[in-house]
Amino acid sequence: MRPVYMITGGITKFKKANPEKDFRYMVKEAFDYALDDLPKLKMEMIDGAVGSYFSDHFTRQLKAASMVQDYLGLCPKPSKRIEGGGATGGLCFQSAWEAVSSGRMNVCLAFGFETMSRVNTWKGNEFIALASDTNFDFPVGGFYTGYYAMMVQRHMHEFGTTPEQLALVSIKNHANALYNPYAQRPGKLTVADVRSSQMVATPLTMLDICTMSDGAAVCVLASEEVAHKLSPNPVKITGVGSGSDAMRMADRPHGKVLLLPHEKASDYRNLKYPGVHSFRGGRAAAKQAYEMAGVRKPIDDFDFIELHDAYTSSEVQTYEDLGLCKYGEGGRFAEEGNPFMPGIDYGLNLPKQGRIPVNPSGGLLACGHPVGATGLMQAVFAFWQLQGTIKKHLGSGKLQIKNPKRGLIHSHAGTGTYITVSILERT
């Protein structure tokens, strides 16, 4: 494998609706931003592309990625489309990494988009529900907020997690987004605000859940030689991992916890794993990426994390899957303030505030979730963090981590059917 670097990226503002811009225009907007940010990169240097979007239903257009390829002026260069539910953008990022790491390309563009406003919310939820088992779960009323509500109910039953601890995740991410002009739904919230918002599926309220969105994002990955020629501060991709699981949670066998480097079997002697409280695929993805990047203790080895928080509950679950804390301790981990940004007043008493900032961007909860773009958006924000250019791109340095060296991005599909973990490091 050859070393691979990210050399530039761009995103559009994520919005509830963007009717004046079709998917091609949005990707072009993000692509132009990325090119403008790295003047030495010329169109003819790009060897090919990987495109990602979740659903043909939202665009009412099959092979939409081919149309983007043409609109960007990249035909007849190689191109393919990646789709994997909520992990679509993360899978796209890793597919571009594979193209460069293998030696097939020296420069590969990863682009992603979604235009979810083209349908009513109820129809959009139906399309998303089609990414569950349509033979068993979907016909009896299965939909994703219901699945996640069930999982967090089990988490609460087994570990004592509380709805108020979940609300802290919402407070954190919406407050972070106040300093991110690309975010769809910034806000200053309280626990009472989150708990009193409209109930969707107990215990998850509207403010515990991300929103369907329109938006696009792009990343450009390059070989080591090209990266150092084109960019004064490229960011190295040092670890990639992915995991999977059965579509139906009832089909998932129980077994031993996949241990991360800092854990031992006795930590989980009495834990039924994975149960419906944890994502085995997420743990598998983290284990692979950590081994590749030489991560020994995640909470100390990372300066920040951008993870898939489609629900406040999934962020808490992912703390545990990534080994930031032990299984069962995610709620308390949030309550102590560990994943909050330093230097931001959240109106809370947080004794361990800023230990390992999670979702400085605002995450899916506040940025929005245009599915095919989301994982790439995470990569762009991680890239800017590691370059130290947050103020340049956002107009404010409030979200800039001080002297970051290593970050993690995490993309998640379904109830854990596809999960990716990628590790980026400042060179």
Mean pLDDT of 170-197: 98
pTM: 0.97
**Are the C-beta atoms of 398 and 179 separated by less than 8 Å?**
yes
Take residue 193 and report the two structure tokens written for it: 């605000």
Residue 122 has pLDDT above 80, yes or no: no
Q: How many CB atoms lie within 10 A of CB 294?
A: 11
Is the pLDDT higher at 412 or at 18?
412
108 beta partners: 48, 221
Give residues with Cβ within 8 angstroms of 175, minimum separation 6: 186, 187, 188, 189, 344, 346
User: Residue written as tokens 């959009």?
Assistant: 124
SS3 of 361, please? coil
Indicate the pLDDT class of residue 308, thresholds 50, 70 and 90. Answer: very high
The percent of residues in the chain predicted with pLDDT above 70, rounded, is: 100
Digit-coded pLDDT (tens) for 245-291: 999 888 999 999 999 999 999 999 989 999 899 999 999 999 999 99
Residue 18 has pLDDT above 90, yes or no: no
Helix H or strand E segment including 376: helix 371-387
Which is it for strands 79-82 and 48-52: parallel, antiparallel or unpaired? Answer: parallel
Dist. CA 111–CA 379, nearest whole Å: 11
Distance between start and end Cα atoms, the chain:
18
Contacts within 8 Å (CB) and 24+ apart, 119-123: 119/57, 119/58, 121/212
Backbone angles phi, psi at 108, to 5 degrees: -130, 135
Give the per-residue pLDDT at 246: 93
Backbone angles phi, psi at 253, to 5 degrees: -75, 155
Give the per-residue pLDDT at 407: 98
**Are the C-beta atoms of 237 and 273 separated by less than 8 Å?**
no
